[in-house]
Amino acid sequence: MQSEDFVAPALVTLDEPPAERRACIDFLLDLAVDAGRVTNRSAARDALLEREASTPTGLGNGVAVPHARTDAVAAPTVAFARSDRGVDFGAPDGDPATLLFCLLAPADADTDHLAVLSRLSRSLADPAFRTRLAEADSERTVVDAIREAVA
């Protein structure tokens, strides 16, 4: 799978997301819905919230990655938003997330799809990558950074 297949400028926003966790998940999900990646918004939302209820998706270092595998997704998708004020996603370090990703994959996603999403998750441990996202001045810059990180 090519990184161009799962991330695009339409899936990225530099607009401030809502400060509440569920509303932020809805905000990220709507990017995927508007980009035509989600076939059933309600089912995708349920899957994301179910996953969030089982274990918070705040990773620490200002990153949150709500994610789900569901039949309600047409293709593997990464949506991204950035927050100046931060959103509480229950990170182990207690810090709010300012870099917000929503990872969605079809329930039957093959290993290539999951490998790309795994590489993105590992890239988030790199402070230089997080800084690049935090300082990005356009949606295209974010997309390019994500594509390079998983290449």
Output the 3-class SS for 68-132: EECCCECCCEEEEEEEEEEECCCCCCCCCEEEEEEEEECCCCCHHHHHHHHHHHHHCCCHHHHHH
Instruction: Specify whether 67 is catalytic.
Output: yes
Q: Cα(48)–Cα(1) distance, rounded to whole angstroms?
A: 23
Task: Please say whether the beta carbons of 43 and 70 come within 8 A.
Answer: yes
Q: Cα(15)–Cα(24) distance, rounded to whole angstroms?
A: 12
12: three-class secondary structure by DSSP: strand
Residue tagged active-site, from 67, 69, 130, 132? 67
Question: Could you give the residue numbers annotated as active site?
Answer: 67
